[in-house]
């Protein structure tokens, strides 16, 4: 029976938030970063658009704050919005010092960035590196983490559950002591001990049949936190990106919102623009409005998709500004300089998550959450485009300061609590993967059919009924067989799906990314508040 692996800091996830935290925490102690696949597998690495930040003399913090509050449909925490936006320039400067490069205006001196604009923004403030900004950031952060002697990156380690004093039966204040993780490299479950656990696991887009998210986005952090009794907030607000490529060979390929910022126009199958019918900002309206408009046009006309037309721009300009998108489309036989791009909405971003304060602290002592997994109050009912990478950088920084204040080093108490090792018992190896894949597929289909862009109470009830049955089936698998990545992902997916449905069912209004035909109006009198759920 091996002893727990002990670290000063334990980070789960390798996106911008987790890596920012890890690099700063490494100055104070030993850091372990767990990644269930490779370090490169994160939502950050998939981000195309960029990072919103006030850097232009034509812009201001107040204007960025106003745009964020407007997109958030009345549910943003203004204190959180102001703090994260005002601290943005300093965090951007740190990324640049790490080697991150952002596109500049042609022939301009260093620091004169080619700022873009996206839906909901009233100024050009989007820093980008072509159309692979997230990859640029992730590459440099990972390189720095791998070079840091105080950081160990454990790839192929799937976090299973948090270990708490309550679960171990101690009578004192409930707190997080570490976690169990499946080492997929050898198939064993290992115990990790730390007084400072940071969830940076990203979102949950894979709970839907159609999503722009990578395969790792299965809601692991939210599900683990829920099982540990941590407060979860606003899970009904799942943002659907308006423009995911509609093509059988590339079902999760995002067509960046930056295309609309640079003049792209949404048109129907008849080639006619339609966004003027839905919002005065037309193609640059916030994402919730544009996604619903596309959904309505598709249903009204019976078309399978709509189209994004940016043929007004020269080919050379498109190749330079959007090199990844241009080449990907060309490989599929679509020349965006000559023909419109077929697009549909797809699940994109989790606006809610593990509820935290402005320092990333959760309702469980010893546990912090940063990045998309967390609900800080920045996004409200609908995220403003390109605010997510900004939040990750700022909150990764803020969390370090809070962790050191509340759980100062070098004081550690490794023997104050006795951690039970993982016991597999008589569990058998999984021999019915077809059942797991069937349940996975059913969850994603029912969420798309019943809990998608537009909802009804009847659809939510149907989803809840089926999810209760699926949860029982998944629990039988979890307890009856040895844990595998497939079993763990399915367990987390069904839990997150249930949280989304329960949250949506309790909000009797339409606000931001939550739209229900039974309650089509905003109801500030009763629902201008967060939806909070926790396991008793």
Helix/strand number for the chain, H first, E second: 17, 19
Q: What is the pLDDT of residue 426?
A: 65
Helices (H), 115-257: 133-147, 165-168, 220-227
* 442, two tokens: 């059913």
Q: Is residue 69 part of a domain?
A: no
Residue 273: DSSP 8-state:
B
In angstroms, how far is CA 484 from the centroid of its own chain? 23
The closest of 175, 214, 191 to 13, measured between CA atoms, is 214
Q: Is residue 366 part of a domain?
A: no
Q: How many domains does the chain have?
A: 2
User: H or E segment at 151?
Assistant: strand 151-155
Q: What is the pTM of this model?
A: 0.96
pLDDT in tens, 126-160: 999 999 999 999 999 999 999 999 999 999 999 99
Alpha carbons 134 and 48: distance in angstroms, whole number: 6
Q: Is residue 394 part of a domain?
A: no
Are the C-beta atoms of 395 and 53 separated by less than 8 Å?
no
Structural domain including 337 reads 244-345
Q: Is residue 177 part of a domain?
A: no
Which CATH number goes with the domain that contains 307? 3.90.700.10
Q: Is residue 76 part of a domain?
A: no
pLDDT in tens, 450-483: 999 999 999 999 999 999 999 999 998 888 888 9
Q: Is residue 238 part of a domain?
A: no
Alpha carbons 357 and 376: distance in angstroms, whole number: 6
Q: Is residue 510 part of a domain?
A: yes
Alpha carbons 287 and 382: distance in angstroms, whole number: 8
From the number of C-beta atoms within 10 Å of its C-beta (0-12, 13-18, 19+), residue 383 rates as buried
Of 286, 310, 345, the residue that ends a domain is 345
Kindly report the three-state secondary structure assignment for every residue of 53-120: CCCCCCCCHHHHHHHHHHHCCCCCCHHHHHHHHHCHHHHHHHHHHCCCCCCECCCCCCCCECCECCCC
> Which residues 6+ apart lie within 8 Å of 176 measured at CB?
162, 163, 164, 197, 228, 364, 365, 366, 367
The phi-psi region of residue 244 (left if phi > 0; otherwise alpha if psi is between -120 and 50; otherwise beta) is: beta
Q: What is the pLDDT of residue 1?
A: 47
Of 304, 327, 345, the residue that ends a domain is 345
Alpha-carbon distance values, 146 to 33, 180, 483 (Å): 10, 23, 29
Q: What is the pLDDT of residue 259?
A: 97
User: H or E segment at 23?
Assistant: helix 16-25
Can you state the percent helix, strand and coil of the chain, rounding each to 5? 40, 20, 45
What proportion of the chain, given as a percentage, has pLDDT over 70?
Answer: 98
List 175, 287, 321, 459, catalytic entry: 287
Alpha carbons 60 and 51: distance in angstroms, whole number: 15
* 485, two tokens: 């990545």
Of 326, 345, 364, the residue that ends a domain is 345
Are the C-beta atoms of 311 and 339 separated by less than 8 Å?
yes
Q: What is the pLDDT of residue 149?
A: 98
Are the C-beta atoms of 323 and 103 separated by less than 8 Å?
no
Which CATH number goes with the domain that contains 520? 1.20.58.100
Give the chain's residues under pLDDT 50: 1, 414
Alpha carbons 316 and 291: distance in angstroms, whole number: 29
Are the C-beta atoms of 254 and 247 separated by less than 8 Å?
no
Q: What are the φ and ψ backbone dihedral angles of 31, each rounded to 5 degrees?
A: -120, 130
**Residue 287 designated active-site:** yes
Terminal Cα-to-Cα distance of the chain (whole angstroms) = 32
Cis peptide preceding 410, ω within 30 of 0: yes
Alpha carbons 512 and 497: distance in angstroms, whole number: 19
Q: Is residue 7 part of a domain?
A: no
Residue 351: DSSP 8-state:
S
> Which residues 6+ apart lie within 8 Å of 153 measured at CB?
14, 33, 35, 39, 142, 145, 146
Q: What is the pLDDT of residue 425?
A: 63
């Amino acid at each position: 029976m091996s002893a727990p692996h002990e670290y000063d800091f334990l980070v789960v996830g390798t996106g911008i938030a987790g890596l920012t935290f890890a690099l700063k925490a490494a100055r104070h102690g030993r850091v372990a970063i767990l990644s269930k696949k490779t370090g490169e597998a994160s939502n950050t690495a998939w981000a195309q658009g960029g990072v919103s930040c006030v850097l232009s003399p034509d812009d201001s913090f107040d204007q960025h704050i106003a745009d964020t509050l407007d997109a958030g449909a009345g549910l943003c925490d203004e204190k959180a919005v102001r703090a994260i936006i005002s601290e943005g320039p300093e965090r951007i400067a740190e990324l640049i010092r790490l080697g991150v490069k952002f596109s500049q205006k042609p022939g301009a001196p260093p620091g004169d960035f080619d700022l873009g604009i996206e839906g909901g923004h009233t100024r050009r403030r989007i820093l980008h590196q072509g159309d692979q900004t997230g990859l640029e950031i992730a590459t440099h952060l990972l390189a720095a983490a791998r070079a840091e002697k105080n950081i160990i990156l454990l790839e192929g380690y799937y976090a299973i559950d948090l270990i708490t004093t309550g679960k171990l039966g101690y009578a004192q204040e409930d707190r997080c002591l570490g976690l169990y993780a499946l080492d997929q490299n050898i198939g064993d479950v290992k115990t990790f001990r730390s007084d400072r656990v940071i969830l940076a696991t990203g979102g949950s887009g894979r709970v839907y049949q159609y999503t722009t998210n990578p395969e790792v986005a299965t809601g692991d952090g939210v599900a683990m936190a829920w099982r540990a009794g941590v407060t979860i907030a606003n899970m009904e607000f799942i943002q659907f990106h308006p423009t995911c490529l509609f093509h059988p060979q590339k079902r999760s390929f995002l067509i960046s919102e930056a295309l609309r910022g640079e003049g792209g126009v949404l048109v129907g199958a008849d080639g006619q623009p339609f966004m003027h019918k839905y919002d005065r900002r037309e193609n640059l309206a916030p994402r919730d409005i544009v996604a619903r408009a596309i959904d309505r046009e598709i249903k009204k006309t019976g078309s399978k998709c709509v189209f994004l037309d940016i043929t007004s721009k020269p080919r050379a300009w498109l190749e330079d500004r959007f090199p990844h998108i241009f080449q990907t489309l060309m490989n599929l036989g679509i020349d965006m300089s000559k023909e419109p791009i077929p697009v549909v909405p797809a699940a994109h971003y989790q606006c809610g998550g593990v509820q935290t304060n402005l320092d990333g602290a959760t309702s469980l002592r010893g546990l912090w959450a940063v990045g998309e997994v967390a609900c800080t109050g920045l996004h409200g009912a609908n995220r403003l485009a390109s605010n997510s990478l900004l939040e990750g950088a700022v909150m990764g920084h803020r969390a370090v300061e809070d962790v050191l204040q509340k759980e100062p080093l070098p004081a550690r108490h490794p023997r104050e609590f006795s951690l039970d090792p993982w016991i597999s018992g008589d569990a058998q190896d999984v021999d019915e993967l077809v059942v797991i894949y069937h349940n996975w597929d059913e969850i994603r289909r029912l969420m798309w059919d019943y809990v998608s862009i537009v909802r009804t109470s009847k659809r939510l009830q149907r989803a809840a009924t089926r999810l209760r049955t699926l949860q029982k089936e998944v629990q039988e698998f979890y307890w009856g067989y040895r844990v595998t990545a497939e079993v763990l992902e399915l367990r987390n997916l069904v839990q997150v799906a249930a949280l989304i449905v329960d949250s949506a069912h309790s909000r009797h209004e339409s606000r931001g990314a939550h739209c229900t035909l039974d309650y089509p109006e905003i109801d500030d009198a009763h629902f201008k508040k967060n939806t909070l759920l926790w396991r008793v």
